[in-house]
Amino acid sequence: MTSLPEQSERDRWRRLVEQVEDARLRYYQRDAPTIGDDEYDAMYRELVNLEQQFPQLITADSPTQTVGGARDQMFEPVEHLVRMLSLDNAFGDEELAVWAARLEKDLGSLPALLCELKVDGLAVDIVYERGELRTLATRGDGRVGEDVTANVRHIPAIPRTLTASPDGPPVPDLVEVRGEVYFPVAKFLEINDQMLALGLSPFANPRNAAAGRLRQRVDKRERELADVTAALGRVPLGNEKALARAQTRVDRVGADLERATNALGALQLVVHGIGARDGFEPSTQSQAYAALASWGLPVSARMRVLPELAKVLEFVAYYGQNRHEVSHEIDGVVVKVDDFAIQGRLGSTSRAPKWAIAYKYPPEVVRTRLLDIQVNVGRTGRVTPFAVMEPVLVSGTTVSMATLHNAHEVVRKGVLIGDMVFLRKAGEIIPEVLGPVVEDRDGTEVAFVMPTLCPQCRTELRPEKETDADIRCPNTRSCPAQLRERIYHVGSRGALDIEGLGWKAASALLDDGLVQDEGDLFALTAADLRASQFFTRHDDDELVLNELARKLLHQIELAKSKDLWRVLVSLSIRHVGPNAAQALAANFASIPLIAAASAQELAEVEGVGSIIAQAVVEWFDIGWHSEVVRKWADAGVRMTEERSVSGPGALTGMTVVITGTLDEMSRDEAKAALIEQGAKVTGSVSKKTTFVVVGDSPGSKADKAEQLGVPMLDTSNLRALLERGPEELEF
């Protein structure tokens, strides 16, 4: 039981708090400590002990509960010339329509509306006097912000002087510019990686990251670096220990400073309004932007002034669908009345203007509980940990699982089972755990331990090579998890595309002992399937094959004569997917010839390379693999391509890229036809690309081709190329 503190202990506590705070102030803010580190440490320790003894004394702002350098972050206050307001939100089309209807009612008709992206960044206020930047400040409470002007020299995106262009308006005596500073997505991800590496929580969104980085006292850090460097110079010769300690300090402060300036250098700015002005009287918001742009300030190229609500909703819907087209994160669209006179008539509440509204998109980063970390054994034996989370809605779908790739990744992310975690849908498709919310821990979280035995077959797990991050179950032949994955893979779309051979059928074939491994698949008979409940039903007391079984047998029969490359993919040779398999099939036209080829011969094939070649050689070296091939051959599975491959095709040596949707043929067909004639089909456009085939709604590859001057073919050119060769092409 703890006793209550006496008055004397309360007094002692207060005195210690004052002393520690004073020491911190002198150390961090004034750069002039008056006591030594040991004295400070003793005082601090006494305070901690006292609080442990009497927890009632602890307050939220006790120095034991605040970060030592917190005062380091303090900035001078700056009063904004005109208040910086926030925005009201609309969640959905209806709420936007209600806002527009209100405007229409108040004004008699709907005014022109300026639409722009709501940038996920941090609002700033920049005052320019006679074209010179005077202050850069954060929004703060809207009336008073923090003065971060000292950091501006590290942010090249913020112009320090405004210059009039020859045919634009003159630079005014005074203009207060408002905008958003933000990190491009790629930089945001990099900063979060750094946070994880330092054992800190990642930033949940780019706004926090921008705020965290802009609100750093780079000037203080610079002085600190100068101090510790000077201290290093003063270490007496021969005192190795002191020297090492001083050097570590210099390195640490230097690294911190570099991270800080590097991040500031990557901050971008987009302007989205003006406050006070003198000598500058634009009549619309869009006119103001044009003037700001002419003086060298960055305005958004995606801004539009639209005459009606339907068009505004189109704009909103477009960026809702294409929010990743922009280099920075957006969390909505801001709609503003363009005309300043009308803005003035509508006025503002104490919080937000009535002439503007933010249409908010659903968030892409959410928080959820990490319930467990389990492991999955894949087709090639790779053991991957994955996160099991409380189901949560993110970017339109409910997510409860996400891969964590390997044990190193779990450590790198610093997540513990039981943590609250940040979860996002990377590229809106694959869910990704970003990292833990460290502040939310209560001590009950436990670290994940990678199993040492395969959870399916109890074989000891090990990395293939010492340097591998992945560990694998080496029992490739009979580990049930690997077997099931391989059998399922044979039926998958990119392999032999066997309808009826889904996950459940693959499991039933194995569980009921109808196949020992994939070698038995093509010898399956109706009699075999009759032994399994999964493949049968009762018809008037008679046991007959069900629909699925009949489909499966029929599809297996069809699969036997499918293209050779599909057979190759079905063998589950590591790294051999459709691309490599097509290249191999086109060149060797025979599985026995591929099995007999040397690594060098294989690697010479366009689109194969040494890693794949090595994997192919190693695969055929394993006895039971050859047995699978022999069984398939005996069952009538295609082992050679029928067409002749006597000489190089007409398109040998050419590299072709396909983008967009083709009419008349699928991309796979086009690709197969090109490869058959010797062309190499790749995924990215470079100077070495011979042609780019452009279908409907092409991607950025068409732009790239245009930039690099690579010839582009439409579908009819492609047909001509395939039928008559490159000489006959007309553009």
Where along the sequence are the contacts to ligand IVH (CB under 6 A)? 85-87, 116, 118-119, 123, 180, 272-273, 334, 353, 356, 358
Query: Closest by alpha carbon to 358, among 92, 583, 549?
Result: 92
Is 128 or 319 the residue whose CB approaches ligand IVH more closely? 319
Structure tokens at 205: 């969104």
Distance of alpha carbon 378 from alpha carbon 382, whole angstroms: 5
Query: Active-site residue among 118, 336, 671, 701?
Result: 118
Query: Closest by alpha carbon to 324, among 360, 378, 364?
Result: 364
Nearest distance from residue 119's CB to ligand IVH, in Å? 4
Q: What is the CA radius of gyration of the chain?
A: 34
Which SS3 state, helix, strand or coil, does residue 529 take?
A: helix
Distance of alpha carbon 593 from alpha carbon 615, whole angstroms: 16
Residue 637 · residue 689 · CB < 8 Å: no
Query: Closest by alpha carbon to 177, among 284, 81, 279?
Result: 81
The residue sitting closest to ligand IVH, measured at its beta carbon, is 123
220 is catalytic: no
Nearest distance from residue 348's CB to ligand IVH, in Å? 8
Nearest distance from residue 309's CB to ligand IVH, in Å? 19
Name residue 387's beta-bridge partners: 373, 402
Is 269 or 674 the residue whose CB approaches ligand IVH more closely? 269
Residue 391 · residue 366 · CB < 8 Å: no
Structure tokens at 620: 């055929």
Cα–Cα separations (whole angstroms), residue 213 to 86, 577, 656: 22, 43, 44
Nearest distance from residue 440's CB to ligand IVH, in Å? 25
**In this structure, how many other beta carbons lie within 10 angstroms of the beta carbon of residue 703?**
12
Query: Across the chain, which distance is largest between two alpha carbons, in Å?
Result: 100
Write the DSSP symbol of residue 29.
I
Distance of alpha carbon 372 from alpha carbon 448, whole angstroms: 8
Residue 121 · residue 214 · CB < 8 Å: no
- The single-letter code of the amino acid at 687 is K
Name residue 688's beta-bridge partners: none
**In this structure, how many other beta carbons lie within 10 angstroms of the beta carbon of residue 723?**
10
Nearest distance from residue 311's CB to ligand IVH, in Å? 18
- The single-letter code of the amino acid at 592 is P
Per-residue HEC secondary structure of 558-578 comes to: HHCCCCHHHHHHHCCCCCCCH
Residue 431 phi, psi dihedral angles, 5° rounding? -70, 140
Residue 220 · residue 214 · CB < 8 Å: no
Nearest distance from residue 342's CB to ligand IVH, in Å? 14
| Sign of torsion over alpha carbons 234, 237, 243, 247 | positive
Instruction: List, in sequence order, the alpha helices (H) in 347-497.
Output: 407-413, 480-490
Distance of alpha carbon 168 from alpha carbon 294, whole angstroms: 6
Nearest distance from residue 413's CB to ligand IVH, in Å? 29
Distance of alpha carbon 159 from alpha carbon 170, whole angstroms: 16
Which SS3 state, helix, strand or coil, does residue 694 take?
A: strand
Side-chain-side CA neighbours of 550 within 13 Å: the count stands at: 5
Residue 97 phi, psi dihedral angles, 5° rounding? -65, -35
Report the interhelical angle of 185-197 vs 206-214 (nearest 10°): 70
Query: Using DSSP, how many helices (H) and how many strands (E) does the chain show?
Result: 24, 23
Is 269 or 399 the residue whose CB approaches ligand IVH more closely? 269
Nearest distance from residue 617's CB to ligand IVH, in Å? 56
Nearest distance from residue 393's CB to ligand IVH, in Å? 22
Is 358 or 410 the residue whose CB approaches ligand IVH more closely? 358
Is 171 or 271 the residue whose CB approaches ligand IVH more closely? 271
Q: Which helix (H) or strand (E) holds 330?
A: strand 330-337
Is 131 or 273 the residue whose CB approaches ligand IVH more closely? 273
Residue 303 phi, psi dihedral angles, 5° rounding? -70, 140
Residue 314 · residue 86 · CB < 8 Å: no
Is 64 or 300 the residue whose CB approaches ligand IVH more closely? 300
Is 118 or 424 the residue whose CB approaches ligand IVH more closely? 118
Is 63 or 332 the residue whose CB approaches ligand IVH more closely? 332
Nearest distance from residue 352's CB to ligand IVH, in Å? 7
* Chain position carrying tokens 């439409």: 714
Nearest distance from residue 88's CB to ligand IVH, in Å? 9
Is 353 or 491 the residue whose CB approaches ligand IVH more closely? 353
Nearest distance from residue 286's CB to ligand IVH, in Å? 13
DSSP annotation string for 579-604: HHHHHHHHHH-BHHHHHHS-HHHHHT
680-682 and 655-659 beta bridge pairing: parallel
Nearest distance from residue 89's CB to ligand IVH, in Å? 7
Residue 460 · residue 450 · CB < 8 Å: no
Catalytic residue list: 118
